[in-house]
Structure 1
Amino acid sequence: MVERRARYSPPWADMTIIGIAGGSGSGKSSVAMEIINSLNLPWVVILVMDSFYKTLTPEQNAIAHENEYDFDSPDAVDFDLLVDTLHSLKKGRKVEIPVYSFEKHQREDKTISLYSPHVVILEGILAFTDSRVADMVDIFVEADMDVCLGRRILRDVRDRGRTIDGVIKQWFKFVKPSYTRFVEPQRHISDIIIPRGIENRTAIDMVVKHIQRNLREKSEAHYLDLQRLGKQVEEQPLSTNVIIMEQTPQLVGINTILQNPHTEQVDFVFYFDRLACLMIERALDTIPFVPVTVTTPEQYIYHGLRPAGTVSAVAILRGGSCLETGLKRTIPDCITGRVLIQTNYRTGEPELHFLKLPRNINDHASVILLDPQMSSGGAALMAVRVLVDHGVDEGRIVFVTFAAGKRGLQRLTAVYPDVKVVVGRIEDEGESRWIEKRYFGC
């Protein structure tokens, strides 16, 4: 075991929050969409404050259906939940975003999961009215009030099941007075004011460049942290939780076939699947078992063991799929998930592109993480962090890999010393990924 736990922070921790406030119909959503289109990145999301309206009592709900409830007052928004959500995202945690029905004037039972955005654009009329939120956000969008009214009528009639008379009634009774009282004062505490909304290309470009610069700086810092971590642990011995497969004659023979560049693909797949079964079986030796008693067909009592709970697996795509045939042969009913982590060829930084984990994975007794090759350990660190953020205790994670560099193993076990690692062989430092290319033939 390493003596001191090292630290690792994924690139989505301490994410950037861009807040966009302004009157109803001022063009906040259009500005937010234009920023996203200009950035053209998969990990930028819009968080709409409308999702955080409070659940109404039956009396308030009846008033709302008569267009008599003031949704433009800060009292209508659950700012405590919003602040908690933003803080959790800042810490890199998974959050559940409420879904609000404007036809029912109630929150739906379902929620939307949100995890690992690098940039969150918070869009809402009252985004700056709570000082806890105002400290995180900075943009105000303004437009002529007549234009705002026209946009609101179009949106509410088309998307929210309202009548034109109801929208106009609500506008003059609640929206316009609330703008003067709550919304317009936010203008004076904003860092950037965007008049004319989406038509103001210069201001939008300035915001986009600010976000791009921020992301570039965080990317460089993340890559340097990985490099620094490698230097910190290079003199340390391998953790006792790293289990290197015993180099039996059978294993050496299989390795010889796999390493031979003249091996046909069909033979490569056959022998790699065989080796995958052996590694999965070795991984199962590390999971918890509990005593169980069974009666044999001859009516004898046998005192045995069974797994302490559900065993699931997560494949790091695309390479992790190479190990799934061996997984299914060993655990036919194993529940599996997917995570796609790719290294940016320009920055050298691992990036999370896709995530689909088994349901209730936090309740599973053991989770097997699959990746046939680990060199620097960057993708492995990120994958384990994803599981930990979703409630999986690191002591229940078993990482299975065919080939791993010593430095990558040192990095992983320095940050997560309780994770167990099953390794087929130790590879040379800097060895390029080749297994999935041979396995899939491309």
Structure 2
Amino acid sequence: MSCKKAEIPVYSFEKHSRLDKTTTIYSPHVLILEGIFALHDPRVLDLLDLRIFCEADADLCLSRRLVRDIKERGRDIEGCIKQWFGFVKPNFHKFVEPQRNVADMVADRIHKTLDLKSEEHRAELKRLGKETKDLPLSKNVSILDGPSQITGINTLLSGPDTTREDFVFYFDRLAALLVERATENADFDPVTVETPPPRSHPYNGLRMSGEVSAVVILRGGSILETGLRRVIPDCRTGRMLIQTSYRTGEPELHYFKMADDVSTHNKVLLLDPQMSSGGAALMAVRVLLDHGVEESRIVFVTYIAGKRGLNRLMTVFPDIHVVACRVVDDYEERWVENRYMGC
């Protein structure tokens, strides 16, 4: 699943078959494989970092099965009992129970082991988080700094008294500069043109090699489009809707639409005005990679980037380029698009 999407089948226990629809997921940070045969195939066992076998008393299993199948799957009690003794129980002892022998943990003695593992994992995550924060910025990260004019605009945008009209005006100026900087990473071919008459003469210049397109990460990325159009008026633009799951805290891809030939483009600009943890950016880059875009052709364009999230992004995808206006040390609540849109 490395940087590839997977279509997970959806099974109907009422119809005893797979449905036509699937659930699309991209390579996650932690993948949990669950099922009665999860530890059965040796090819799968070699891919697992931790193997857990969960067991319960047979009477408890039967009672849970009866309640579930009758209430949720519309089956009758006689059919459930017949299936239990004729198929489920004997096949459990034949195929499922042997998996207990290859597990790292078994449910009846799992708590103490998990507590110890949890402490180890928390310490390791804390160490990795600190290391990520302390890393120097990658050479592929370009910060829009320099003239005092840019600092002055940032001051206006950060100030509480700036009107929405002024905020939009000055933000659009910076957005155009960010896109200008992003296109510096594009490939150019030498070309000679003739200047207009009456004093025609050759001019040796450059012409962009191939197409530069953009993908907007909704909804915030749309506020960078005015600046994009000022630099590349005919830029083809795609869309991605990535939202954080309230259950898992992980980003989820809900919608995407891109050009069919996006893999052939000179550069693909990913637009998102603010990045904190980097979760949405990681997901967006994975989607582009899955559609054949080379990592070195991806440019992530943002106004504000959290340093830890930025280093996290560059550690996972070291060949992409990032153009940002500001890098902040701590996580900031998303506020830029709210100020821009007025809501």
Q: How does 1:248-327 map to 2 (within 5 A)?
A: 248-298=147-197, 299-327=200-228
| Cα 1:16–1:227 shift into 2, 3 Å | farther
Aligned partner letter, 1:235:
D
- Provide the residue aligned with 1:233 in structure 2: 132
Across the aligned residues of Structure 1 and Structure 2, the Cα RMSD in angstroms comes to 3.8
Measure how far apart 1:294 and its partner are: 1.0
Amino acid at match of 1:287: A
CA deviation map 1:377-409 (0-9, x unaligned): 111111111101110001001111001111111
Query: What is residue 340 of structure 1 aligned with on the other side?
Result: 241
Contact 1:27–1:198 (Cα < 8 Å) also in 2: no
Which residue pairs with 1:354 in the alignment? 255
- TM-score (norm. length: structure 1): 0.53
With over 3 angstroms needed to count, the CA separation of the structure-2 counterparts of 1:18 and 1:27, relative to structure 1, is closer
Conservation of the 8 A alpha-carbon contact between 1:338 and 1:356? yes
Task: Pick one of 325, 328, 332 that aligns with 1:424.
Answer: 325
The 1:331/1:418 distance shift into structure 2, 3 A limit, reads: same
Superposed displacement of residue 250, structure 1 = 1.1
Cα-to-partner distance string for 1:290-330 (whole Å, 9 max, x where unaligned): 11111111331111111110100001111100100000111
For 1:80-91, list aligned pairs within 5 A: none
CA distance in 2: counterparts of 1:328 and 1:428, whole angstroms? 31
How do residues 28-427 of structure 1 correspond to structure 2 at under 5 angstroms? 28=16, 32=19, 45-46=21-22, 199-200=74-75, 230-298=129-197, 299-427=200-328
The alignment covers a number of residue pairs equal to: 266
Determine if contact 1:226/1:378 at 8 Å carries over to the other structure.
no
Whether the 8 Å contact between 2:10 and 2:19 is mirrored in structure 1 is: no
Superposition deviation, residue 357 in structure 1 = 1.1
2-structure distance, mates of 1:226, 1:338: 33
Can you give the 5+ residue segments of structure 2 that lack an aligned partner in the other structure?
32-40, 45-68, 81-121
Task: Write out per-residue CA displacement over residues 57-113 of structure 1, whole angstroms, 9 at most, x where no aligned residue.
Answer: xxxxxxxxxxxxxxxxxxxxxxxxxxxxxxxx8986xxxxxxxxxxxxxxxxxxxxx
Preserved CA contact (<8 Å) 1:258 1:268: yes
Structure 2: distance between partners of 1:366 and 1:15: 28
Kindly indicate whether the alpha-carbon contact (under 8 Å) linking 1:399 and 1:419 is maintained by their aligned counterparts in 2. Answer: yes
Tell me: CA distance 1:286–1:28, structure 2 relative to 1, closer, same or farther (3 Å).
Answer: same
Q: Percent identity?
A: 54
Q: Distance in 2 between matches of 1:227 and 1:318?
A: 31
Question: CA separation in 2, counterparts of 1:294 and 1:383?
Answer: 39
In structure 2, what is the Cα distance between the partners aligned to 1:226 and 1:262?
40
The answer to whether the 8 Å contact 1:230/1:410 transfers is no
Aligned to 2:134, what secondary structure does the other structure show? coil
Q: Is the 8 A contact 2:308 2:329 kept in 1?
A: no
Q: CA 1:228–1:348 in structure 2 vs 1: closer, same or farther (change >3 Å)? A: farther
Structure 1 CA distance for aligned equivalents of residues 341 and 76 of structure 2: 46
CA drift of 1:430 comes to 1.3
Closer, same or farther in 2 for the Cα pair 1:14/1:314, shift >3 Å? Answer: closer
Residue by residue over 1:317-366, the C-alpha shift from the partner in whole angstroms, topping out at 9 and shown as x without a partner, is 11100100000111000000000111224432111111111221011110
Kept in 2: contact 1:373–1:433 (CA 8 A): yes
CA distance in 2, matches of 1:340, 1:226: 28
What secondary structure does 1:369 align onto? strand
The answer to whether the 8 A contact 1:277-1:329 is kept is yes
Aligned CA distance change for structure 1 residues 271 and 382 (closer, same or farther; 3 Å): same
2-structure distance, mates of 1:413, 1:382: 13
Output the CA distance in 2 between the equivalents of 1:91 and 1:275: 32
Quote the offset at 1:234 in angstroms: 2.8
Structure 1: distance between partners of 2:6 and 2:161:
48
Quick check: 2:304–2:327 contact (8 Å CA) kept in 1?
A: yes
TM norm structure 2:
0.67
Query: Secondary structure of the residue that 2:330 maps to in structure 1?
Result: coil
Describe the shift of the 1:388–1:231 C-alpha distance in structure 2 as closer, same or farther (beyond 3 A): farther
CA contact 2:8–2:22 (8 Å) conserved in 1? no
Alignment-mate amino acid for residue 294 of structure 1: V
CA contact (8 A) 2:220 2:273 kept: yes
Query: How far has the Cα of 1:15 moved from its partner?
Result: 6.7
Counterpart-to-counterpart distance in 2, 1:18 and 1:340: 22
Q: Distance in 1 between matches of 2:155 and 2:315?
A: 31
Q: Which amino acid aligns with 2:176?
A: C
